[in-house]
Amino acid sequence: MKHTPRTHYRACNLCEAICGLEIQVSGDEILSIRGDQEDPLSQGHICPKGVALQDIYQDPDRLRQPVRRTATGWETISWTEAFDEVATRLQHLQATAGRSAVGVYLGNPNTHNFGTTLFLPDFLRSLKTPNLFSATSADQLPHHFVAYLMFGHYFLLPVPDLDRTDYLLVLGANPLVSNGSLMTAPAFPKRMRAIQARGRVVVVDPRRTETADKADEHLFIRPGTDALFLLAIVHTLFAEGLVQLGALADHVKNLEPVAAAVQAYTPERVAASTGVAAAKIKAISREFAAAERAVCYGRMGVSTQEFGGLCNWLVNLVNILTGNFDRPGGAMFTTPAVDTVLPNRAGKLGRWSSRVSQHPERFGELPVAALTEEILTPGDGQIRALVTSAGNPVLSTANGAALDEALGQLDFMVAIDIYLNETTRHAHIILPPTTGLETTHYDVVFHTLAVRNTAKFSEPCFEKTADQRHDYEIFQELTRRLTGGTYDPPFATPTQMVDAGLRFGAYGKTGLSVQQLQDHPHGIDLGPLQPVLPGRLFTEDKKIDLAPASLLADLVRLDGQLVELDNVAPDFPLRLIGRRQLRSNNSWMHNSQRLVKGGDRCTLLVHPDDAAAAGMVAGQVVTVQSAVGSLQIAVEISDEVMPGVVSIPHGWGHTRRGTQQAVAEAHPGVSMNDITDPHLLDALTGNAVFNGVPVRVVTG
């Protein structure tokens, strides 16, 4: 049967960039996927991940109906049977062993699907368990922690105004590859070239990343010392009279405690620890302060380290103290069409602690580094059942090998996931939602983090079959059963909820609604970021707290480790860092042939000097050891990493038996998280440490 070709315009939801796509379809066949030239945010940009939406939709390994694990293998079951069994077993465990007996782990793809984002909270409330874990504490928790203390809301995150800045200082981020992270910035290569035409881009990173390679200047820095570098910049701003609050003067408090706290962190004092010369630190400070419009941006490299909280506080201080906050070209807050930064969701800290190691709760979650011990340690409150949603923590959390063993000891596990992967292979039941091209989509989360205010609503390219369920339908059905049938949400679908959010949002008076977005499938441009202070602040006095007490106190911990930073441990002389790759974001993307094709990308980057000293040659398989484990990996020799640093990309390690991802299994790589230490945390925020992990390389 011949079908008339049709064109769909939608946003890609595989990473934070939400690039606009133009998709040509005929019947159930995808003819082409290309960038949407008329998308107001991405302006035609597309990366290989966007094209891979086709691979995910057509993937023969993707689950489409519920399956149950049996002694002889996996069997397909009905949705009703699956929902009933999951609810019954979870209820029984909580009735006999307490609410804490059920744990939940949420992967980061949950935030890329508005059905999950909007209806998952009801499901979590029905469980009433304190044992909630997510990728947040393996990724970005320091950002939220600092935002809460300084601005009064955990999700009030400043975004670099890339399109108007003249000077971009980047620490621990690779936006040329990621197109932003906690900064939705599609078409970053184009935006970066425009910045360079106006001014400068400077990157500070232990690796000469793709962004660093194209920047005007790159500075190597020793992993884990970014807080010292930033403290020296703030010191220089005060010491040389470069602090200029400008319009912010009436909206900040506690400037004097900051000046006193940074007095000891001279560029000369931190130079040896950071590996950055004192003269260079002063030069960067002066350039930044002198630029007409400048912005400092830090991401994974500064977040997933032992002083991630301090780093994010200091990034904000650099922007605030130079007057580059809440002004065009600096760090700004968005005005999203659907606003999730609401007073009743500002966040809370420390209401309970984990049972084994007493890690305090942050914004309703416990550090994911505690998940394994909470499963393995007997006693009241032990996790005996686990619900995972769109996550693969065996590959994405610290010491995944230990978690892998722990999952095998659970009484019950249910996974809401489209794949049988390294984590979900332990599940008793897997509930697969529709995904990608089968779903309606509005990006609730990443419009809140975008470098320009826009709105876009995406219709599905393909209708789901009678045997499939959308993510929100899965959570609705589970919640109904867990609440004894009393669950009655005010909105039946996420589309209805978004429509209400649009109508009552900042642009509702102009008529913005789902219908209007449907009439404009490329999206609607709502304009550049605008100053919003003090109205957008959630602090009681409507002022930014420049010196939260817990952050000032954490400087004592930093000082206590200065000696350690200045000395190389003989047992583990190298420092391990991760690296972002254009064709990889989450582990489940490795089941797309177009994303894994080519040479082996899961290699150990080693500096030529370190390779020569150890007798390593390119392609040689070596053993990398840490305090908690070891792995074997091929060597790639390159001066893109600084001496003393080695690098392994995140998300690989498809070597466990019992998975069903043929492409990934043919390109397994190794998981760097088999050798990261769950006890190595940013003590202030609870975030895992993946950058600066002490390791050694054994060649014999």
pLDDT digits (tens, 9 = 90+) for 624-680: 999 999 999 999 999 999 999 999 999 999 999 999 999 999 999 999 999 999 999
Q: Does residue 210 contact residue 177 with C-beta atoms inside 8 Å?
A: yes
564: pLDDT strictly greater than 70: no
What count of Cα atoms within 13 Å lies in the side-chain half-sphere of residue 212? 21
Q: Which amino acid is at 376?
A: L
Euclidean distance between CA atoms 43 and 39, whole angstroms: 5
The mean predicted confidence, pLDDT, of the chain is 96
- For 93, residues 6+ apart whose C-beta sits below 8 A from its C-beta are 101, 102, 384, 385, 411, 412
Q: Work out the pLDDT band at 568, boundaries 50, 70, 90.
A: low
563: pLDDT strictly greater than 70: no
SS3 112: helix
Q: Work out the pLDDT band at 2, boundaries 50, 70, 90.
A: confident
Euclidean distance between CA atoms 168 and 211, whole angstroms: 12
Euclidean distance between CA atoms 313 and 294, whole angstroms: 17
Domains and CATH numbers, the chain: 158-332+539-553 (3.40.228.10), 568-698 (2.40.40.20)
Q: Which of 545-554, 587-596, 630-639 has the lowest mean pLDDT?
A: 587-596
- For range 607-635, the mean pLDDT: 97
Euclidean distance between CA atoms 592 and 595, whole angstroms: 5
Q: Does residue 527 contact residue 452 with C-beta atoms inside 8 Å?
A: yes
Q: What angle do CA 455, 459, 465 make, to 5 degrees?
A: 150
SS3 92: helix
Residue 3: the pLDDT is: 78
Q: Which of 312-321, 551-560, 584-593, 633-642 has the lowest mean pLDDT?
A: 584-593
User: How many CB atoms within 10 Å of residue 679?
Assistant: 13
Distances (CA, A) of 286 to 13, 21, 235, 517: 39, 42, 12, 45
Residue 566: the pLDDT is: 59
Closest CA to 650 of 622, 592, 596, 690: 690
Q: Which residues pair with 69 in a beta bridge?
A: 74
SS3 106: strand
Cis peptide preceding 534, ω within 30 of 0: yes
Residue 589: the pLDDT is: 86
Euclidean distance between CA atoms 591 and 478, whole angstroms: 29
User: How many CB atoms within 10 Å of residue 358?
Assistant: 9
Euclidean distance between CA atoms 245 and 7, whole angstroms: 50
Euclidean distance between CA atoms 277 and 446, whole angstroms: 37
Instruction: List phi, psi (to 5°) of 366.
Output: -105, 155
SS3 271: helix
- For range 63-67, the mean pLDDT: 98
Instruction: List phi, psi (to 5°) of 203.
Output: -120, 135
Q: What angle do CA 647, 651, 656 make, to 5 degrees?
A: 115
Euclidean distance between CA atoms 373 and 403, whole angstroms: 9
- For range 209-233, the mean pLDDT: 97
Distance of CA 84 to the CA centre of its chain: 33
Euclidean distance between CA atoms 122 and 274, whole angstroms: 46
Euclidean distance between CA atoms 195 and 209, whole angstroms: 18
Residue 587: the pLDDT is: 79
Residue 583: the pLDDT is: 82
- For range 154-161, the mean pLDDT: 98
Euclidean distance between CA atoms 555 and 3, whole angstroms: 65
Residue 700: the pLDDT is: 77
**pTM of the predicted model over 0.95:** yes
Rg, Å, the chain Cα set:
24
Closest CA to 415 of 400, 401, 426: 426
Q: What length does the chain have?
A: 700
Residue 523: the pLDDT is: 98
Q: Work out the pLDDT band at 565, boundaries 50, 70, 90.
A: low
SS3 660: coil
Euclidean distance between CA atoms 87 and 66, whole angstroms: 14
Q: Does residue 415 contact residue 431 with C-beta atoms inside 8 Å?
A: yes
Q: Work out the pLDDT band at 227, boundaries 50, 70, 90.
A: very high
Bridging pattern class, strands 385-389 and 360-362: unpaired
Q: Work out the pLDDT band at 584, boundaries 50, 70, 90.
A: confident
Q: Work out the pLDDT band at 570, boundaries 50, 70, 90.
A: confident
Instruction: List phi, psi (to 5°) of 472.
Output: -65, -30
Euclidean distance between CA atoms 173 and 523, whole angstroms: 28
Name the DSSP class of 447.
Answer: G
Distance of CA 612 to the CA centre of its chain: 36
Bridging pattern class, strands 544-545 and 524-527: unpaired
Q: What do you get for the CA distance between the two ends of the chain, in Å?
A: 62
- SS3 per residue for 20-82: EEEEEEECCEEEEEEECCCCCCCCCCCCHHHHCHHHHHHCCCCCCCCEEEECCEEEECCHHHH
Structure tokens at 541: 């006095």
- For range 438-454, the mean pLDDT: 97
Q: Does residue 113 contact residue 488 with C-beta atoms inside 8 Å?
A: no
1: pLDDT strictly greater than 70: no
Task: List, as one string, the DSSP characters of 498-525.
Answer: HHHHHHTSTTGGGT--HHHHHHSTT-EE
- For 264, residues 6+ apart whose C-beta sits below 8 A from its C-beta are none
613: pLDDT strictly greater than 90: yes
Tokens 């392609």 sit on residue? 619
Closest CA to 424 of 603, 664, 113, 628: 664
Q: Does residue 311 contact residue 305 with C-beta atoms inside 8 Å?
A: yes
